[in-house]
Structure formats: structure tokens, C-alpha cells
């Protein structure tokens, strides 16, 4: 068995995977099913051990060329750099990415019961459309004395437009995990989310960003077409954690079915980030249609226990029609935030755009976490989460839709 190279784009492996703009329903195919890249994760049942053994077996018995994340330290991993590898061991997470479309079961049988296989998912933007900045006022960010100064905030998305005039005075660290693409945002979604989380004032003097003093990091984990491989997201999470980020914001996801459990690879990445001092927030997803009484589960990775899931409300403080619900026991909505008609930065020359989605709600929460961390600089992630819950505004809406309530700035 000679697998394809890990650096090969998974979108070349399967003709059904198409650019984001071609999808009819909220950024992914309209069937509501998760889609896969054709590659697989080998999950080590015990994260502390087995890495040396799996490397030895892959190299000696299967003839694999194996790369390891430890070789990259704090530098981000782009699969182009390891295009000669057949497998990538995530030393920190206890998982291995197999760059193969072949049936992995024969390999699994040779490994006794120490491992199990999970397919790698395709990840999409979580974006809806229609009609300015009311989110900053509603969360109280415009009245806060804090700006997130000194707090490192990472947004994992489609990158960032480094030519945007509103950020010319800001130092932003950017890294691409998408093969053959730079960190420059040619889509717009990433720039929009960074604007909400950490932008400042637009050309008309209107404030649209929550944590205007935060140190921003942009990890490009989704392509210019708006979709990406799950491993790119894992690479982004570990990069942000190793680079001392205190907040990691992810406005992306994969549909989840009723009764489906959370993704173990994502959960391990989240726990690793927590161990490094970071809180992770992710979009709950836009798959629901409440007007038709259709309620879909919280998306992956937001459904992981160690990741805070964010739903969306409109200006009247009603749950957005598209916002997902806590349908599965482990996939809870933790918080709600403004996510309808959100004005923020966009790639030039457009400069600004108004969007709706749980994608827009998530960076509001990420920015508020940055404000809290400025106020409580010695706090642990769990202490910051506790403060976030204590200061949230309760709403007369079911907890499965809004969690503890509307996040409020300190």
C-alpha cells in the first residue's frame, strides 16, 4: 500500500468536494451530512504512549515516510513542507494523520487494540447573509474601559487582508496552514471575523471591533474557496497554543447528526490548548431553520466539551433563525452573542461588509474574553470562563438555545 502524499490537497482526492461558493446551504452541501477528505486519523487510545511504536510500525512494516509536529516547535505546519510524508504524528495530541485514501483497516489490525480510526472531515465557513454595528453596544463593549491590551487573540479562518487600511497601525502575526496559499485573505470571512474580535473604528468613525488593543494572530486554516481539511484546523490550534495565545476563535465547522458524539481529535487539540493557557470558542452552526421548526445539533468542533459554543441573536435579542440548538447531550450551546446584520472589515477594495451567522457571534465572545483577560491578567482559563458565565446577561429563552445567556463586556 503506497498512500498519496500528505501535502496533496484533499480536494483533489474526491470530486464531490467543491469550493464554498458552490454550496447552496450555509457553506456546505445541502444534505446536512458531514463530508470527508478521504484521509484518516489514527487515534491513540492513550495520548501519553504509543507514539514511538506507531512511528516504528509505519516506517518499518508499511514503508511510510513519517513527519512529526515536534519538528516544528512553535512554527506553524503547512502541508507543503511535508509533501514527501505519508503520515504526520501529532505528538502533543496522541493522533496520527494518514495521508491515504486506501482502506486503513489492514493497518489497524496490525496495531492490536491500542488505536482506532476516524475519517478526516471537511470544514466549512459558517456564514449566512442579510442586513450595523449594534453588537458592540449590546455587549457593552463600547462602555468598557478595557481593550484587550496585552492579550494574544488568534482567529482561525480564511486568513487576513494585510492591506486593510483599518489595521495599518496594528502588528498582526499571520500563518497559512493551507497548501499552496499564503495567509493573505482572498475570501473575506477571516478578515470580517478578525474585525469583529479585534478591529477598531471604520472610515466613518463607527466602532465595530470588541478588543481593539489585543495582539492579533491570523491562522489561515480554510482556503480562499472557504473550505478546508480538519488537519489544517488542528495545525492552527496547536500553532496558536504554542504561540501563547489566550483566546482562539473559530468561526467554522462541520455538520453533526442527532446522536453523534463529539470529535476526539478536536477535543484533544482543545485540551492541549487549555493546558497551554488558552480558551477556545467556536460557532454553534447555522444549519437550523426555526421558522420551519427544524433544529439542528451544535456543529463540530463547537460540540466538544472543552470548546465554548456560541449561538447567534438578532438586534431584538431573539435567537437567530439559523442558529443551532443543543440537541445532543454533549453538544451544548454555552453562550449567545450578536450574529445578525454585523458590520465589520472585508477584503479590499470592498473594505466593509455586513453579514449574519454564528460566525459573527463567535468573535464577539472571543473579544470579550480578551477584555476579561486584560482585567484579570493572572487568571487561568477556567477562572476566565467562570467570570464570563457570571457576567453574562440571562435571557428569557431556553438554555438549549442560548446557554447561560448573552456575553457582556467587563
**What is the spatial distance between Cα 402 and Cα 312, in angstroms, rounded to a whole number?**
8
Strands (DSSP E) along 65-206, which ranges?
66-68, 87-90, 95-98, 115-125, 152-157, 172-176
Beta-carbon neighbour count of residue 356 at 10 Å?
24
Residue-wise DSSP of 101-115:
-S--HHHHHTTTTSE
State residue 69 phi and psi, 5-degree precision.
-70, -25
**What is the spatial distance between Cα 339 and Cα 152, in angstroms, rounded to a whole number?**
23
State residue 396 phi and psi, 5-degree precision.
-80, 55
Active site residue 189: yes
Please tell me whether residue 263 adopts helix, strand or coil conformation. Answer: coil
CB 147 within 8 A of CB 371: yes
Active site residue 157: yes
Helix spans in 227-307 (H)? 230-242, 264-275
CB 194 within 8 A of CB 355: no
The DSSP output letter for 371 is: H
CB 385 within 8 A of CB 368: no
- Sheet of 152-157, strands arranged across: 172-176, 215-220, 152-157, 247-250, 279-283, 308-313, 335-338
Q: What's the burial of 311, exposed, middle or buried (CB within 10 Å: 0-12/13-18/19+)?
A: buried
Please report how the helices 381-391 and 358-375 are oriented relative to each other, as an axis angle in degrees rounded to 10. 110
**What is the spatial distance between Cα 345 and Cα 166, in angstroms, rounded to a whole number?**
8
Active site residue 359: yes
H/E element, 335: strand 335-338
CB 179 within 8 A of CB 5: no
Helix spans in 16-104 (H)? 51-60
Which residue out of 189, 192, 343, 364 is catalytically annotated? Answer: 189
Which residue out of 26, 40, 86, 157 is catalytically annotated? Answer: 157
Beta-carbon neighbour count of residue 233 at 10 Å?
26
Which residue out of 212, 300, 306, 359 is catalytically annotated? Answer: 359
Q: Which residues are catalytic?
A: 157, 189, 359
Amino acid at each position: 500500500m503506497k498512500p498519496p502524499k500528505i501535502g496533496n490537497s484533499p480536494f483533489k482526492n474526491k470530486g464531490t468536494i467543491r469550493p464554498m461558493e458552490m454550496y447552496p446551504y450555509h457553506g456546505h452541501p445541502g444534505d446536512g451530512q458531514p463530508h470527508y477528505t478521504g484521509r484518516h486519523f489514527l487515534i491513540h487510545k492513550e495520548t501519553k504512549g504509543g507514539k514511538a511504536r506507531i512511528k516504528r510500525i509505519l516506517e518499518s512494516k508499511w514503508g511510510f515516510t513519517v513527519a512529526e509536529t515536534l519538528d516544528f516547535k512553535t512554527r506553524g505546519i503547512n502541508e507543503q513542507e511535508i509533501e514527501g510524508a505519508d503520515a504526520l504524528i501529532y505528538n502533543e495530541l496522541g493522533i496520527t494523520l494518514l495521508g491515504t485514501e486506501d482502506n486503513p483497516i489492514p493497518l489497524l489490525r496490525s496495531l492490536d487494540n491500542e488505536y482506532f480510526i476516524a475519517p478526516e472531515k471537511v470544514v466549512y465557513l459558517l456564514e449566512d447573509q442579510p442586513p450595523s454595528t449594534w453588537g458592540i453596544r449590546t455587549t457593552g463593549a463600547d462602555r468598557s474601559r478595557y481593550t484587550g491590551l496585552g492579550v494574544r487573540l488568534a482567529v482561525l479562518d480564511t486568513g487576513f487582508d494585510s492591506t486593510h487600511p483599518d489595521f495599518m497601525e496594528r502588528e498582526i502575526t499571520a500563518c497559512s496552514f493551507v497548501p499552496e496559499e499564503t495567509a493573505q485573505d482572498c475570501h473575506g470571512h477571516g478578515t470580517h471575523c478578525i474585525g469583529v474580535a479585534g478591529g477598531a473604528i471604520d472610515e466613518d468613525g463607527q466602532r465595530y471591533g470588541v478588543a481593539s488593543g489585543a495582539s492579533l494572530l491570523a491562522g489561515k486554516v480554510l482556503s480562499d474557496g472557504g473550505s478546508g481539511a480538519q488537519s489544517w484546523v488542528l495545525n492552527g490550534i496547536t500553532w496558536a497554543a504554542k504561540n501563547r495565545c489566550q483566546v482562539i476563535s473559530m468561526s467554522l465547522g462541520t455538520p453533526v447528526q442527532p446522536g453523534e458524539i463529539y470529535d476526539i481529535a478536536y477535543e484533544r487539540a482543545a485540551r492541549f490548548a487549555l493546558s497551554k493557557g488558552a480558551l477556545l470558542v467556536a460557532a454553534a452552526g447555522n444549519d437550523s431553520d426555526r421558522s420551519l421548526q427544524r433544529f439542528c445539533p451544535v456543529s463540530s468542533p463547537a460540540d466538544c466539551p472543552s470548546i465554548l459554543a456560541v449561538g447567534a441573536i438578532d438586534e431584538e435579542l431573539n435567537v437567530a433563525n439559523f442558529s443551532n440548538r443543543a440537541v445532543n447531550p454533549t453538544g451544548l450551546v454555552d453562550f449567545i452573542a450578536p450574529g445578525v446584520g454585523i458590520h465589520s472589515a472585508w477584503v479590499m477594495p470592498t473594505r466593509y461588509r455586513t453579514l449574519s451567522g454564528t460566525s459573527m457571534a463567535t468573535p464577539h465572545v472571543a473579544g470579550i474574553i480578551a477584555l476579561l483577560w486584560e482585567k484579570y491578567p493572572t487568571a487561568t482559563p477556567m477562572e476566565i470562563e467562570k467570570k464570563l458565565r457570571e457576567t453574562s446577561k440571562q435571557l428569557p429563552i431556553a438554555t438549549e438555545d442560548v446557554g447561560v445567556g448573552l456575553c457582556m463586556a467587563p
